[in-house]
A and B are shown apart, each in its own frame.
Chain A
Amino acid sequence: DAGITQSPRHKVTETGTPVTLRCHQTENHRYMYWYRQDPGHGLRLIHYSYGVKDTDKGEVSDGYSVSRSKTEDFLLTLESATSSQTSVYFCAIRMTGAGGYTFGSGTRLTVV
């Protein structure tokens, strides 16, 4: 198992507040990803990282920022949470070769 942990698992926050979600991996994988999953939209890429301090935007990056100061940690920040950011957020790491991703268990975020 790749050892990927997301925290918190559940969070309720108020509109306008900043929120940070954490993804921690234990196996030194270079590539890490943040997705959101919503009914009718499937999994959509928010941001990804290809190394320490190397990040790039995905298809739904507006309102989100990321940081990766250590290989093992990839943080997703909602700068000012909105109700449209209510979702389930998944972190993933890319396996070597032609393999796919290993996902964390997700964070269910509700913005009220």
Chain B
Amino acid sequence: TQLLEQSPQFLSIQEGENLTVYCNSSSVFSSLQWYRQEPGEGPVLLVTVVTGGEVKKLKRLTFQFGDARKDSSLHITAAQPGDTGLYLCAGRNRDDKIIFGKGTRLHILP
């Protein structure tokens, strides 16, 4: 069974701090997505990375796909209360199925 392990599971930090969350697997993925989910809503796609080593930036969020396409990271600079939410990574495997991690629950304290 392919797994995507996300760490940490929970993170609570002060507004203005930087943070990184990780998504790791022993499997190779053809692409990897990051989603943010707020209470009572469905996950919303933030980014898709496709190429090993690829880096994408979305304002204060930086996403990186590992060189071997087995892992990814999300770095947030100067976190804001609006960044609070559940962050999910998801990888598309060679069977064209998308596998989801269990998520990192992020809470930014004002």
Residue positions of A touching B, CB distance < 8 A: 40-43, 45, 90, 92, 95, 98-106
The answer to whether B35 and A106 have CB atoms under 8 Å apart is no
Q: Which residues of A contact B33 (CB under 8 A)?
A: 99-101
Docked-complex contact B102 and A42, CB < 8 angstroms? yes
Query: In the complex, how many residues of chain B place their beta carbon closer than 8 angstroms to a beta carbon of chain A?
Result: 21
A42 touches B88 (CB 8 A): yes
Interface centre among B42, B90, B100, B103 (most CB of A within 10 A): B42
Which residues of B approach A to under 8 Å, CB–CB?
30-31, 33, 35, 40-45, 48, 50, 88, 90, 92, 97-98, 100-103
Contact B48 A99 (CB under 8 A): yes
Given the complex of chains A and B, what is the CA–CA distance between A42 and B103 in angstroms? Answer: 7
Contact A43 B41 (CB under 8 A): no
A57 to chain B, nearest CB (A): 12
Provide a sorted-by-A list of 30 A–B residue pairs whose CB atoms are within 8 angstroms: A40-B102, A41-B102, A42-B88, A42-B100, A43-B43, A43-B100, A45-B97, A92-B42, A98-B30, A98-B48, A98-B50, A98-B92, A99-B45, A99-B48, A100-B31, A100-B35, A100-B45, A100-B48, A101-B33, A101-B43, A101-B98, A102-B45, A103-B42, A103-B43, A103-B44, A104-B42, A105-B40, A105-B41, A106-B40, A106-B42
Please measure, in the bound complex, the distance between the C-alpha atom of A90 and the C-alpha atom of B88, giving whole angstroms: 14
Q: How far is the CA of A105 from the CA of B45 in the complex (A)?
A: 13
Give the Cβ gap from B73 to chain A, nearest Cβ, in Å. Answer: 17
Chain A residue nearest to B46 in the complex (CB): A100
Question: How far is B45's CA from A100's CA once the two chains are assembled, in angstroms?
Answer: 7
CA distance A39 to B13 in the complex (A): 22
